[in-house]
Structure 1
Amino acid sequence: MLTTTTELTSADLDEIRQTALGAADPLGIAAGLAEAVDAGRLADPDDAGNALALAAEIAESRSKLDAALRYADRAVEAFGTRDDSASTNAKAVHARILFRVGRADEALAELEPLRPALTRHTDAAAYVTAALAAGGRHQLAEEWLTEAVQAALAERGSDPSSAEDAGLLFFLLQQRHRTRHQLGRSHDAHDNLADRLETRLANATTTGGGDELLFWPQAEFDRVIKEWPALAEVYGPTWDEHRARLERTLVGKGGTPLSGTADGLTRFAGDDDPAEAKARTGYARQLATQPAQITWPPERNGSCWCGSGLKYKKCCLPRARG
């Protein structure tokens, strides 16, 4: 349960999203988010929809579908007529839960207006596809994604892989490919384009393996190393070493730490091995398109970027000299 009486900022919500599922009482955190909305304890009242959608996802992950639906209902209501990435995601979560409670007609009615968002928001493909998959509508998902891919290609001309916003097209193609795999479809021209874009985008990522800016908060780091022990060589055998390696990379090359989760990596990898470099690089690129990443460097006397609660000068700053 969230017991703090201080206001929750957008950054707090981002941190909760990264850590809630690994917490001892995730359902208490979900209830606390709803209580913070009710009590007016959000630094930005416009975050109400985000907080309630997050509560819905947490409750859904624990199969508490009645609670999840209540939170999702409220999230959609809080967003009102907003038409942005966050509201799209919340509506897709709402539809996914409606499918899971047996209200398929309502779920489809919720999703149909979201189809244009597939070509506007990089994460819409994942949320809408997940909702349709929850209702067993894999073929419909393939149809929507194919239509979105064709529309995106029409906007990009003869060399789509060179477009600056090729990331959105890549995520559409990737979701489509995974859906087609579930349907037993054979490789087609769009799947070949997905392979080309993956190579192009991997090369465009900051030098190194492409995932060198991935940061795993401590609970997530422990899960990553437990589930994929070989990644200790990539990210370090301990969380202290992981932070030290990333701090040295940031000092040497700059950049923005990309806060990841074990569940997020698994979802992104789909049928691929999450420990493979290709999956990790793609996940890093997906995180890089999201708006609320970790600010680096912080002020010397400010809170450290790693989330330890210590001052930067007493925590990760000295690690760059190790």
Structure 2
Amino acid sequence: MAAPPTEARRRQLNIEYAEALEADAEISGQRCDDLVEAAGYWHFAEEHEREEQALATAAEIDDGHNVLSGRAAYASFLLTHGRLEEGERAMAQLMREGSECPWAYGEAAAGYHAIGAQQEALRWLNIGVQRFIPDVDAAVEVGDPGFELLRERAELRRELGLPQDQYDELHARSQERSHEVYAQIEEVSRQRQAATAVLYWPEAEFAEVQRRYPTWYPDTAHVEHRREVQRSLGHHPGAVIATGELDALLAFAESRERPPDEPSTRAEFAAEAARLGRTVPWPPGRNDHCWCGAGRKYKKCCGAPGFA
């Protein structure tokens, strides 16, 4: 069973993620968003100077049209690190200038909530909701601008013991609609999961599996692995193919606290891929490319008479 990562390893991973995001920020065209994300990883790595550097740069380049708000994130950082006067100035400037980023108002509210200023947090949520949902009779669903602000506002008002108002009623209607949408999504997921998922390792991944875990497929050539997959597919009409990637499987096993070398873990990994739609349908047309990725027609590859 793979050992869970140590605290030192977690810290190193956070640093690597932060550095990768900062490098990507220079070429991605989403520099503000990447820097705010990088700051989060610097925070978990307890590299708070690097966290502040990333957020200060994000605040400078924030034009108010990003997914994440550098100005709000930096102001919140200042508030939660005891620099109240600087944080208040940054918040006041953000309030004056406004933002087309809904996340900015939620992040500002989160900063005030973290220091116990719930009324100020509610003020930011009120302003954000009114900015992005001016009509209380609107139909608001998950993913719409302002939906998360509406949810956070309703939760904070309940925390403060305030009676329901029109926006709280709108939130209740939106939640009801969201539950209907989620029920539809879950039904689709159940249908996907109902299909048998057969795990297939491409040749390079299969070689890596055999190098690192030789007991998984002992004395098995890749062509034999393909034959076994083809036989399994043939025994389960409507089956799908989950393409194996060793690092993804190991991450899955760690997240579920399961030993990666158990066949049941690999089966669960394939089933999760099916649930998420990360699969290849089977069978292909006889003149289509074969599912194994060899580049040949199915009828002349794994679908050839007698292959399985």
Interval of TM-score (by shorter of Structure 1 and Structure 2): 0.5 to 0.7
1:43 partner amino acid:
I
- The CA distance in 2 between the partners of 1:218 and 1:99, in whole Å, is 40
Question: In the alignment, which of 56, 67, 75 is matched to residue 58 of structure 2?
Answer: 75
Residue 55 of structure 1, CA deviation: 2.0
Deviation at 1:102, TM superposition (A): 1.2
Match of 1:173 in 2: 150
The unaligned stretches of length 5 or more in structure 1 are: 1-20, 227-235, 252-299, 302-310, 315-322
Residue 238 of structure 1 pairs with residue 268 of structure 2: yes
1:29 aligned partner = 17
Aligned residues: 216
The alignment partner of 1:238 has SS state of: helix
1:160 equivalent among 138, 154, 158? 138
Residues 1:142 and 2:122 are matched in the alignment: yes
Could you tell me the percent identity over the aligned residues?
Answer: 21
Q: Which has the larger radius of gyration?
A: 2
1:101 aligns with 2:81: yes
Higher relative helix content: 1
Do structure 1's residue 126 and structure 2's residue 126 form an aligned pair?
no
State the 1:121 CA deviation. Answer: 3.4
- From 156, 159, 170, the equivalent of 1:193 is 170
Deviation at 1:60, TM superposition (A): 1.7
**Coordinate RMSD, CA, aligned:** 4.3
Q: Which residue of 2 aligns with 1:208?
A: 185
Q: After superposition, what is the alpha-carbon deviation per residue over 1:134-174, rounded to whole angstroms, capped at 9, x for unaligned?
A: 333221111222233345453x36x312x689832432210
Contact 2:108 2:124 in 1 (8 A): no
1:187 and 1:122 mapped to 2: Cα distance? Answer: 22
Q: Distance in 1 between matches of 2:188 and 2:112?
A: 30
Work out whether residues 100 and 134 of structure 1, in 8 Å CA contact, stay in contact via their aligned partners in 2: yes
- Displacement of 1:98 in angstroms is 1.0
**Partners of 1:128 and 1:121 in 2: how far apart?**
12
Deviations 1:75-94 (A, max 9, x none): 223x25x22124x5222221
Unmatched tracts of structure 2, length 5 or more: 1-8, 193-247, 258-265, 282-288, 295-308
Q: Is the 8 A contact 2:33 2:69 kept in 1?
A: no
- 1:43 paired residue number: 27
Change (3 A) 1:211 1:147: farther
For residue 85 of structure 1, the aligned residue among 51, 60, 66 is 66
Whether the 8 Å CA contact 2:102–2:128 is kept in 1: the answer is no
Matched residue of 1:247: which SS?
Answer: coil
1:237 to partner: Cα distance: 7.6
Give the superposition deviation at 1:101: 2.0
Contact preservation (8 Å) 2:64, 2:100 = no
TM-score (norm 1): 0.52
Q: Which amino acid aligns with 2:124?
A: W
Amino acid corresponding to residue 128 of structure 1 in structure 2: A
Match of 1:64 in 2: 47
